[in-house]
Chain A
Amino acid sequence: MLAYLVRRLILAILTTWAVSVLAYVVIELPPGDYITSYIAQMSSSGSFVSAQEAEALRQQYGLDQPLYIQYLRWMGMVLQGNFGMALEYGRPVKEVIGDRLWLTMVVSVGAIIFTWFVALPIGIYSAVRQYSVGDYIATFVGFIGLAVPSFMLALILMYFGFTMFNANIGGLFSDEMAEAPWSLAKAWDLTMHLPLPALILGFAGTAQLIRIMRANLLDELGKPYVVTARARGLSEARLILKYPVRVALNPFASTIGYLLPYVVSGSIIVSLVLSLPTVGPLLLKALVAQDMFLAGTIVLLLGVMTVIGTFLSDLLLMWIDPRIRFEGKQ
C-alpha cells in the first residue's frame, strides 16, 4: 500500500511538471503577446499605444526574451511560492485568484450538491421502475437538460427573471451588498443569489447522471446476486441500496477526479453569461489578454487539482469496491 502511494506521488509530480510545460507552450502558441493584446484592446476602446511605449513595456515584462527563458523564470518563481504579477490587474496572481476562489467553490459545490441530490434518487427510481410513467418523465426532462446548452438556459432564465420578477441580473450579490464588508446580511444575500446559478450549472450534469445511474443500475438489477438476495427475503429498499446501487456508484467515484478542477474553476461560459465573479471568466480573460502568469497559474492549478482528484477517486474506488481492493493485494 505504501509503495503504491509513493509511486503515485512521484507520478503525480511528474504529471504536474508536464502540465506546467504544456500549459506554458499552449498558451504561448497563438501569435502576439500581452502587449499586442493590450494594443488591440486600447485600439478598440478609442485610445492607443505608440510603438515606443509598446517596446518599453515588452522589455519591462521580459516578453522580448525567448520562450524557455520566460518559462524558467516563471518556474523559478513558482517553486518559491510566488506566482508573479497578473499583468492586467497589477496585483499578485495569488491574490487575484484567491479573491474568486472560494466564491467559485461555493457555487460549484452548490451545483454538485444540487446535481447529486436530484440525480441519484431519480436515477435509482427510473431504473427500478423502468418504463413506468415516472421513468418516461425523468428521461424526458433529462434529455432536455442534456440538449439545452446551459448558457442558453442562463440567458432565458435571466431574461424572464428581469421581465417577470424584476430580479437583478447576474452576479452573486445585489448592488448594495457587492461592496459591503462581510456580515450575516451579505451571507444571506449570497444564499439568495445562489440557487439560480447552482440550478443552471447543475441541470445539464443532472441529466447526465440520471442516465448513467439508470443504465448502471439496470445492468446490475438482473444479476443473480440480486435475485438471490430477493429470494432470501430482504426488503426491497434495503436490497437495492445495499447491493446493486453500491456497485452502480463506481462511475461516480471514478469521475471525482474531474470534479475537483471543476470546483476551483467553475463553468466558464455559464459564469460569463451570469456574470459570476468566479475563476472561470478570469481564465478566459487571461487567455484573451495573453497574461501568461495568470493564465499559466490557473491552468497549473487545474492540472494539480485533476491529479489530486484522480488520486482521491482511486482511493475511493478501492474503498467502495472490494473487487479492486483485492486485485490490488494479489
Chain B
Amino acid sequence: MAKKRTGVTRREFLQQAALASGAMALTGLAPTAVLAGQAGEQKIGSQLIGKLEGPSLILDPAKFPTKFSEAPMLAELVKAGKLPPVDKRIPEEPMVVKPVHSIGRYGGTWRRGFTGPGDSENGNRIVSTDKILFWDYTGTKVMPCIAKDYKVSDDGKVVTIFLRKGMKWSDGQPFTADDFVFWYEDIYLNKDIQPTPNPDFMVNGKPGRLTKRDEYTVMFEFPEANYLFVDILAGSTAMGGGQATQQHNGRTMGAYMPAHYLKQFHPKYVAKDELDKKAKAMGFDGWVSLIKNRWDWRLNPELPVVGPWKTVTPINTPTWTMERNPYYYGIDSEGNQLPYIDKITMALAENLEVLNLRAIAGGYDLQERHTALSKLPVFLENRGKGNYDVRLDPALNGSDATLQINNTYEADAEIAKWIHTREFRRALSLGIDRDQLNETFWLGVGTAGSVAPSESMPYSPGPEWRKKWSTYNPKQANEFLDKLGLAKKDGEGYRLRTDGKGRIRLELLTAAGSFIPHTQICEMIKQQWKKIGIDADVKEIERNLFFTRINNNEHQIAVWLNDGTEVLYLFPRHALPVDTVEALLGPQIARWYASGGTQGKEPKDPQLKKALELFRSAAGKKPQERYKIAQEIWKIMVDEQFSIGTVGQSPAAMGVRIVSKKLGNIPARQVNAQHARTPCSSHPATFYYKA
C-alpha cells in the first residue's frame, strides 16, 4: 500500500469494489479477500496510532491572558457597532485552553459528512464544551467546563458548582444560576414535560434538589452521600451531558436552559391556551412539543447556546451548518477568543458508502464518524490524492464484539442450564481464537482478551485479567466440557444434549447493520467452536428487533459492543444487567435491579448477585473506594465469563480519523470514549487551518 502507483490493477479494483459494496450487499462479506492480499504486512494500522496528547486548561488565574483578540468576522461586527467588544463578551473568568501544538489562525470552514437528522451526535459531540464539568484529554481527570470549579461537602450530600462571572449566552444575555433554577423548577419538576424523575438526579432511588446560593453558585443536594455525582456532572449523563446532547430530540435533562428565551413558550409565563394555539399553528400537537422543539439546538437557530458553534441551517435540511458563537467562553493561552474555525458544514450522505467514498476523495477536513476500519486500505491508498492523513484512536473498552449471556434465559431448559454453568461459559471462551478474529476483522490493531476495560483506566482490575479464561485453549475447553458430562458426540464431532434431542446448538443473536461486523465475527467463532464440539447458529436480525427480542428475554447469547463500560458507574448497561433499556445480560434481572426488587427476577447466580450488590453500594463511596469496587466487579465478570470478551481497545468505532493536512492542532492520538465525548476532549475549538 505504501508503494506509489497511479494505475489500478483489475484485482485491486475488484477488491475495492467489494469493499465499497460491503455494507450494501445483504450478506456483507468480511474483507478477508483484501487482507489475504496483504498477508506480508501485518498490523497494517499500528504505525497509525500516535502518542496520546491533547490541549490542557490553564487553571491559575494569575496566568490568564489580559489582552484579548477575536476573529476578523467578529471584529468587523464590533466596528459596525453590531456587537460589543471582545472583552465585554467573554467572562471575567474565561476557560483558558492551551492548544496542543500552537496558537492557531482564524477562519475556514470545517467540512464533514452526516447521515441525516438521526445523526445528531455528529454535531452534539463537537459542541460538548456546553457540559458542566468535563474530562482532560486522557479521559481520566475531572476538569472545569462551564463551571469554573466544584466542591463536594464532606458528607458527600452536597455538590456545589461555581459558574463563571460574566459568562453569556450566544445572544449576549447573562448566563447565571437562574438558568439552572428555571430548568429545575419549570422543566424538571413539571409533570407534563418530565413525568418521571431521572435516576441521574437521584441517589439510591431518592431524588436530589437544586438550589441557587447566589448569582454564580448552584448547589445539588441529596438525602444520602452521592460522591459519584461529580463524575455524573462530568460524564455523558442526563445531568452532566450538556445542553446540546440532553436537550435534543425531545429530551429534557441537562440541568440548565436559557430561561430568558424559553419563558415565552412555557405556560407558567404565558397563557396555556395561547401557547397551544401557537403550537397548532406551527404544526405541533401542543405546547410541550413546541417548547421541546424550541430548545433543540439542532432545529432552532434562534436558541441561545453556550458551545463554540451554533446551528445556522438546521439538521433536517440537506446541509447542517454551524457558525461561531460570538460569546463563547473559551480563549486560548494568548487571549484569542475561540473557536478558530468560522463555520462547520455537514453534507448529507444518504448512505455510509457514499460518505466513505467522499472521505477517500478528500471531501472532508476531519471526520472520525462513520469511517469504517474495514476501509482502511482504501483510505491509505488515496491519502496523497485526497490530501489527508489517517489516524487511529483505539478505544478504552475491552471488547467490541462481546458475547453477552442471558442470565434469565429459560425457553430451552437444557441450553439454559449450560449457559448458566460457569465451566461451560469458560469453555466457550477458551474455544475462541481471538488472534484470528483480530487479524481478520480489526486488521490486527485491536487487543485480544476479556471484557475488562483498558489498563489506563482506574477501574481496570489489572493486566492479568485481560487473559484470564480469555486465551485460545481448545484442549482445556474440551476437558471442561467432557467433565461436565457432555462427552457424547455425533458423527460430525458435535457434542450431544443430555435429553437426547440432538446436538447442543447455541444461538448467537446479532444486529444487522451494526458498526462492527458482528455477524461475520460470529460466523468465524462458530467455525472455531467446531474444535470444541459446540455447534452454533448465528442469527442476524434487524436492529430494532434485536433489542425487542432481548427485552422479551428471548435471546441465549446476544452480541454487541461493550462501549462505555470503561466508566462503569456512568454507563453500566453493557457490563451489568442494571438498566432495562439494553439488558443484554438478563432483562428480568435488570427489571429486578431497577425496581429495587419489586419486579423481575432475582439473579440465581450468587456471584452475579454479588456484583450487583457491589455496584449498588458504590455511589455513596469516595473515588478511590469506588475504583476498588469496580475492580472487584470486573474480576467477578471475567472470572465467571458472564460476558465473553473477544477483541477490544480498537479504533473500530469512531476511531478511524481522516484528517486534512491543512488542519492544525490535531492530536496524534485522542482518547476515544463515550464519556470523553470524542472528539470534544481534543477541544475542536482549537483546531485551525494552517495558511
**Contact assessment for B545 and A32 in the assembled complex, using a CB-CB cutoff below 8 Å:** yes
Interface flag for B199 (CB, 8 Å): yes
Give chain A interface residues in 19-55, CB to chain B under 8 Å. 30-32, 36-55
- Indicate if B8 sits at the interface (CB-CB under 8 A): yes
A85 interfacial by beta-carbon distance below 8 Å: yes
CA distance A162 to B9 in the complex (A): 16
Nearest residue in A to B348 (C-beta to C-beta)? A277
Whether B581 lies near A54 (C-beta < 8 A) is: yes
Rounded to whole angstroms, the CA-CA distance of A38 and B629 in the bound complex is: 32
- A13 part of interface (Cβ distance < 8 Å): no
With known contacts A47-B674, A85-B283, A273-B354, A36–B579 Cβ distance under 8 A: no
Report Cα–Cα, A86/B249, bound state, in Å.
Answer: 11
Contact among B195, B313, B317, B546 with A59 in the assembled complex (CB-CB below 8 Å): B195
Whether B457 is near chain A, meaning CB under 8 Å from some CB there, is no
Give the residue of B285, B318, B353 whose beta carbon is less than 8 angstroms from that of A178. B318
A304 interface contact, C-beta 8 A:
no
Whether A8 sits at the interface, judged by CB under 8 Å, is no
Which of B117-125, B402-410, B425-433 lies at the binding interface? B117-125
Main secondary structure of the interface of A (DSSP, over half): helix
Is A226 part of the binding interface, using a Cβ–Cβ cutoff of 8 Å? no
B150 in the interface, Cβ–Cβ < 8 Å? no
B486 at the interface (CB under 8 A from A): no
Which chain B residues in 475-527 approach chain A with CB under 8 Å? 511, 514-515
B204 interfacial contact with A, CB 8 Å = no
Chain A residue with the shortest CB-CB distance to B674: A46
Q: In the complex, A82 Cα to B354 Cα: how many Å?
A: 34
Interface size, A (range): 35 or more
- Answer yes or no: B615 CB below 8 A from chain A CBs: no
What residues of B have a CB within 8 angstroms of the CB of A327 in the complex? none
What CA separation (Å) do A25 and B654 show in the bound complex? 37
When the two chains form their complex, are residues B544 and A55 in contact, meaning their CB atoms are under 8 A apart?
no
A315 at interface (Cβ–Cβ under 8 A)? no
For residue A321, CB closer than 8 A to chain B, the reply is no
Q: Return B557 CB to nearest CB of chain A, in Å.
A: 18
CA distance in complex: A156, B16 (Å) = 10
Bound-state CA distance A48–B348 (Å) is 23
Whether A159 contacts B17 by the Cβ 8 Å rule is yes
Interface string of B180-204 (1 = CB under 8 A from A): 0000000000000111111110000
**With the chains together, A42 CA to B674 CA distance in Å?**
11
B324 within 8 A of A: no
In the bound complex, do residue A88 and residue B24 qualify as a contact, i.e. CB atoms below 8 Å apart? no
0 or 1 for each of A107-126: is its CB under 8 Å from B? (1 = yes):
00000000000000000000
Q: Please give me the residue from chain A that is nearest to B7 by CB atom.
A: A163
Q: A51-B580, A155-B353, A277-B348 are in contact. Are A32 and B547 (CB under 8 A)?
A: yes
Which residues of the partner chain A approach B252 to less than 8 Å between Cβ atoms?
53, 56
Report the minimum CB–CB distance from B540 to chain A (whole Å).
Answer: 14
Q: Which of B198, B283, B514 contacts A82 (CB 8 A)?
A: B283
Looking at A135-143, A168-176, A209-217, the stretch in contact with chain B turns out to be A168-176
A195 at the binding interface (Cβ < 8 Å): no
User: Provided the pairs A151-B24, A273-B351 are in contact, do residues A52 and B361 lie with their beta carbons within 8 angstroms?
Assistant: no
Is B293's beta carbon under 8 Å from chain A? yes
Do the beta carbons of B313 and A179 come within 8 Å of each other?
yes
* Minimum CB–CB distance for A100 against chain B, Å: 9
If the complex has contacts A46-B563, A60-B288, are A30 and B542 also in contact, measured as CB distance less than 8 A? yes
Q: How many Cβ-Cβ contacts under 8 Å join chain A to chain B? A: 183
Residues in chain A near residue B318, CB distance under 8 A: 178, 277
Nearest-neighbor residue (CB-CB) of B313 within chain A? A179
Within A53-71, which residues are at the interface with B (CB < 8 Å)?
Answer: 53-57, 59-60
B582 at the A/B interface (Cβ < 8 Å)?
A: yes
Within 8 A of B (CB), among A171-195: 171, 175, 178-179
The answer, yes or no, to whether B284 is at the interface (CB within 8 Å) is: yes
Q: How far is the CA of A19 from the CA of B654 in the complex (A)?
A: 42
User: Chain A residue with minimal CB distance to B198?
Assistant: A52
Chain B residues contacting A169 (CB-CB under 8 Å) are 354, 357-358, 361, 363
B94 beta carbon closer than 8 Å to chain A: no
**A273 contacts B353, CB within 8 Å?**
yes
Q: What is the size, in residues, of chain B's interface with A at 8 Å between Cβ atoms? A: 82
| B683 to A: closest C-beta gap in Å | 18
Q: Which residues of A contact B284 (CB under 8 A)?
A: 85
Q: Identify which of A56, A57, A170 contacts B357 (C-beta below 8 A).
A: A170
As a 0/1 sequence over residues 208 to 248 of chain B, the CB contacts with chain A under 8 angstroms (1 = contact) are 00000000000000000000000000001010000001000
| A51 lies within 8 A of B579 (CB) | yes
A289 within 8 A of B: yes
B75 interface residue (CB < 8 Å to A): no
Residue B263 lies at the interface, judged by CB distance under 8 Å to chain A: no
For A92, the closest partner residue in chain B by CB is B283
Pick the contact of A168: B118, B195, B363, B654 (CB < 8 A).
B363
B580 x A290 contact (CB < 8 A): no
Does B603 interact with chain A (Cβ within 8 Å)?
Answer: no
Complex contacts, B193 vs chain A, CB 8 Å: 56
Q: Is B258 an interface residue (CB 8 A)?
A: no
Contact assessment for B357 and A90 in the assembled complex, using a CB-CB cutoff below 8 Å: no
Closest Cβ neighbor of B673 among chain A residues? A46
Q: Does A145 sit within 8 A of B, measured CB to CB?
A: no
Residues of A within 8 A of B348 (CB): 275, 277
- How far does the Cβ of B544 sit from chain A's closest Cβ, in whole Å? 4
- Are A38 and B249 touching (Cβ within 8 A)? yes
Hey, which bits of chain B sit against chain A, CB under 8 A? Answer: 8, 13, 16-17, 20-21, 24, 111, 116-119, 121, 124, 193-200, 236, 238, 245, 249-253, 283-285, 288-289, 292-293, 296, 299, 313, 316-319, 321, 345, 347-351, 353-354, 357-358, 360-361, 363, 511, 514-515, 542-549, 563-564, 571, 573, 579-582, 594, 653-654, 674, 678
| Interchain residue pairs with CB less than 8 A apart (12) | A31-B544, A52-B199, A56-B195, A85-B284, A91-B299, A92-B283, A159-B17, A162-B357, A170-B354, A170-B358, A171-B347, A277-B350
CB-CB nearest 7 A-B residue pairs: A32-B544, A31-B548, A89-B316, A275-B354, A92-B283, A275-B350, A170-B354
Known: A40-B547, A89-B316, A158-B357. 5 other contacts (CB 8 A): A39-B582, A45-B121, A50-B579, A99-B317, A155-B24
